[in-house]
Amino acid sequence: MPLIKLNDRSIKDVTSLPFGVGNLIHIQSQTASNSASISFTTGINSTYKEYQFYFIDINPANNDTTFQFQCSTNGGSTYATTITSTSFRALHNEADTSTALEYLTGSDQAQGTSFQTIADGIGNGADESLAGSLTLFNPASTTYVKHYIGSSNKYHHADASQIYFEAGYFNTTSAINAIQFKFDSGNFDGTIAMFGVL
């Protein structure tokens, strides 16, 4: 296969990469099919200082549910790492009659160990879904806490576009080596892709 030149980088094969290839290295993708959760228990290590997770057409079985994540320091045996976080969202409905911009006190944590909200109120209609991304910084560090930043857009169950932003840190100096995504109730369909960033 001939080399492809992109951003002054030579890339041999980009067929498995669904997004801009630059310095993103595809590690693995998992597709849920009426699944309770998706867990990445391998591939998160000291190879990369930054890991990105992309959510593609995440569609819950239950209506008006919350998509969440948590990390593990023991390879996925438990997901209860201490989090301090912050969240806000903006909304605009299809009828052009409702807008909102708000901080979400119910979605933040202060030294909590619950699953962290990525987005709430997601519709389960055949054409409704969530798409977005989450970045986890330097999870293998044994010196610093582990920061994350995420954003997503979803088809709200009340027929609206809603963008959701969350950020925080896992308050641990132990290395994070696994991550799990799930809804607060019910199963889901969709794909989550994990990349390392050089």
The torsion of the CA quartet 75, 22, 30, 175, rounded to 10 degrees, works out to: 10
The count of residues in the chain is 198
Statement: residue 18 has pLDDT above 50: no
109: its two tokens: 């944590």
Q: Between these two residues, 168 and 198, which has the higher pLDDT value? A: 168
| Residue 97, Cβ density class (10 Å: 0-12 exposed, 13-18 middle, ≥19 buried) | exposed
* Phi, psi dihedral angles at 95 (to 5 degrees): -80, -5
| Residues paired with 71 in a beta bridge | 179
123-132 average pLDDT score: 97
Q: What is the pLDDT of residue 51?
A: 97
> Where is pLDDT greater, at 15 or 42?
42
Which pLDDT score is estimated for 10?
42
* 14 pLDDT above the threshold of 70: no
Higher pLDDT, 16 or 135: 135
Looking at every residue in the chain, the average pLDDT score rounds to: 91
Could you give the CA distance from residue 184 to residue 19 in angstroms, rounded to a whole number? 28
Reduced to 3 states (helix: H, G, I; strand: E, B; else coil), residue 65 is: strand
Determine whether 71 is exposed, middle or buried from the number of CB atoms within 10 Å of its CB (0-12, 13-18, 19+). buried
Per-residue pLDDT at 198: 85
Q: How confident is the model at residue 157 (pLDDT cuts 50, 70, 90)?
A: very high
Query: For residue 33, which of 61, 13, 74, 73 has the smallest C-alpha distance?
Result: 61
Asked if pLDDT for residue 98 goes beyond 50, the answer is: yes
Evaluate if residue 154 carries a pLDDT over 50: yes
**Taking 80 as the threshold, does the pLDDT of residue 113 lie above it?**
yes
Stretch 2-19: mean pLDDT, rounded?
Answer: 43
Give the CA dihedral 38, 43, 45, 50, nearest 10 degrees: -70
Cβ atoms of residues 139 and 41 within 8 Å:
no
Q: Would you give the distance in Å from CA 69 to the centre of its chain?
A: 7
| pLDDT tens sequence across 35-87 | 999 999 999 999 999 999 999 999 999 999 999 999 999 999 999 999 999 99
Look at residue 3 and tell me whether its pLDDT is greater than 80. Answer: no
